[in-house]
Amino acid sequence: MRNNYWDCEKSRDDVGRDKAILKDIQQHKIGREKGIGDGVVNGKLWKSLGSQESIRVELQALSKDWDEAAENQIKVNAKMKKLKKKVEKVEKDIKLFTETLERWRSQKGCGIQHHSQAEEAAGRG
């Protein structure tokens, strides 16, 4: 089986990545059910691996782990989306502050220049 969500990693579409993860989990669940069904038909396989119940319990535990991992991935993606928005806001604020500082510096420079010109004019007059 191929993990489809790695293909989506390059895109910034978190929804698409989440769907790919959930699709992958669903494929694993189907594979698990198929494995249980095939195991019943091929009784020899089950006997060589252990009891059906122990394998079923192990598969259920793995399924639970997959479900928890999927939930955690969705939560992490949501947190990342919120943090990206905060970073964008901070970057916008920094840009605004930088522009304001530059404007103040240029106004200060103009003020000093006007003051020097006024002193020169007063000295001549």
Sequence ranges of the domains in the chain: 4-124
Q: Is the pLDDT of residue 13 over 80?
A: no
- Higher-confidence residue: 120 or 73? 73
- H or E element in which residue 75 lies: helix 52-124
Q: Within its chain, how far is the Cα of 125 from the centroid?
A: 69
Query: What per-residue confidence (pLDDT) applies to 12?
Result: 58
Query: What per-residue confidence (pLDDT) applies to 79?
Result: 94
Query: How confident is residue 47, by pLDDT bands cut at 50, 70 and 90?
Result: low
Burial category of 21 from C-beta neighbours within 10 Å (exposed 0-12, middle 13-18, buried 19 and up): buried
Calculate the alpha carbon distances from 82 to 49, 79, 86, 89 in Å. 46, 5, 6, 11
Q: What mean pLDDT comes out for the span 13-31?
A: 80
Nearest to 55 by CA among 41, 29, 27, 35: 35
Query: What per-residue confidence (pLDDT) applies to 84?
Result: 95
Q: Can you read off the two tokens belonging to residue 65?
A: 């782990």
Highest mean pLDDT among 3-7, 35-39, 97-101: 97-101
Q: What mean pLDDT comes out for the span 58-76?
A: 90
